[in-house]
Amino acid sequence: MARVVIVGGGGAGDAAAFALRKRGFDGEILILSADHDRPYDRPYLSKEFLRGEIETPKVFLHEESDYARERIDLRLGERVSGGSLQERRVELARAGHEPFDVLVLGLGGSPRRPPGVPAAGNVLTLRSLRDSQTLRQALGDSTRVLLVGAGFIGAEVAASARKLGKEVLMVEAAPVPLQRALGREVGEIYAEIHRRHGVDVRTGTTVESWHTHGDRVAGATLSDGGRESADLVLVAAGIEPNLELPRALGLPLDGGGVRVDSALKAAEDVYVGGDVAFHHHPVLNRSIRVEHWEVAKGHGRGIAAAVAGADAPYTKLPYFWSDQYDVSLEYRGHASGDDPSIWRGDRDGLNFSVFYLRDGLVEAVLSMNDSKTNELGGKLIESRSRLDAAALADPGVDLSELLPSGQATG
């Protein structure tokens, strides 16, 4: 019976292991995780857990006993340094190796740290559970927080910090937050949401110099000329995909990750999912790489299906969500903020959706407090039908009527 070795204990690796058992796979399953905690639900880290609304046990994806019951060998603090596809083994950083019949890589990424950021005790990043525990403690001891970066992590931490009563300054180099992903108009709405909740949002602004006192940052001088104090700094400048192992194994690198086919396969009996997978998506008919939690979990389940013998590509559309204050954002598909967009709904009332199009086809839909439209938007993407722009924009038109016959209820 085959031995599956999974490198990475995040959403992709954990989902792959449990989905393999659910599909009846009876071979050995080994998860090698560099993390020191068993797999956890990452979205909690910038929201409920950070705010102290839930405690650590709620964050874990499974109880410890679940791994034993499902005969999943979970080894924590185990970093993989290399390996050989020809010899069918991975090398462990602490010495030794592990043989595999099937290799699954769910490697994730590491927080990006821009040049010049000091290695001070109160300058943090957020990626792991332990990062969140450290940040949670630091927030409790802080009054004024400087956030460098207004992407989803920065924005969610800003919302959490404001809910905890902290002063928040958010600095973003781009003209508006999230412009590259969601477009200028949506980014402007997000900036205004944060400003209405008391966040000092500085766009088109960078840190020019840091002011330190001992081993701590006391503040920064910004490119807009302002000198600002801070007793806590979070650098939220995105991630760098962890590609050292794929590079050592000789896997094909492309699109900032590892090139995989429509079934998430990078080489014979080698599968890659999550942040590092540059996946040829059969619905969108192009390769994409997506750094979101729900996508990683979906990839894990798709890899399990392929390993268990399903002869089918992975077709699920990328999906992610973000809650900030009383605003719920959902996004399906994959597009650029520069793609033409069609708006539907009440943007002033923060109840709307935006459809992103290429060549007349819907490639993605973003919804703010508008879940039903988002779900139907996903079906419109899957239909690959050319749609009338006026119908998409008209809230009086039932979107289900724009779907091919049978898809609305399928």
Which residue range is the domain that position 195 belongs to? 113-237
For residue 311, the model assigns a pLDDT of 75
- Are 99 and 247 part of one and the same domain? yes
- Are 228 and 290 part of one and the same domain? no
Could you report the per-residue pLDDT of 119-178, keeping only the tens digit for each? 999 999 999 999 999 999 999 999 999 999 999 999 999 999 999 999 999 999 999 999
- Are 302 and 223 part of one and the same domain? no
Among 196, 221, 237, identify where a domain stops: 237
For residue 257, the model assigns a pLDDT of 98
Could you report the per-residue pLDDT of 45-90, keeping only the tens digit for each? 999 999 999 999 999 999 999 999 999 999 999 999 999 999 999 9
For residue 410, the model assigns a pLDDT of 47
Tell whether the model's pLDDT for residue 408 goes beyond 90. Answer: no
Backbone angles phi, psi at 201, to 5 degrees: -95, 120
Under the banding of pLDDT at 50, 70 and 90, the label for residue 404 is: confident
- Are 124 and 167 part of one and the same domain? yes
Residue 394: Cβ within 10 Å count: 12
- Are 131 and 103 part of one and the same domain? no
- Is 105 a member of any domain? yes
For residue 1, the model assigns a pLDDT of 65
CA distance 103 to 136: 36
Among 182, 214, 237, identify where a domain stops: 237
- Is 317 a member of any domain? no
CA distance 58 to 43: 12
What residues form DSSP beta bridges with 254? 257
21-31 mean pLDDT:
97
- Total domains in the fold of the chain: 3
CATH of the domain at 390: 3.30.390.30
pLDDT, averaged across the chain: 96
Tell whether the model's pLDDT for residue 406 goes beyond 60. Answer: no
Tell whether the model's pLDDT for residue 392 goes beyond 70. Answer: yes
Q: Which amino acid is at 13?
A: G
- Are 219 and 272 part of one and the same domain? no
Counting beta carbons within 10 angstroms of the beta carbon of residue 7, is it exposed (0 to 12), middle (13 to 18) or buried (19 or more)? buried
DSSP state of 27: S
- Are 40 and 76 part of one and the same domain? yes
- Is 274 a member of any domain? yes
CATH of the domain at 180: 3.50.50.60
- Are 64 and 173 part of one and the same domain? no
- Is 39 a member of any domain? yes
348-376 mean pLDDT:
96
Under the banding of pLDDT at 50, 70 and 90, the label for residue 251 is: very high
- Is 177 a member of any domain? yes
Under the banding of pLDDT at 50, 70 and 90, the label for residue 310 is: confident
- Are 158 and 228 part of one and the same domain? yes
- Are 232 and 123 part of one and the same domain? yes
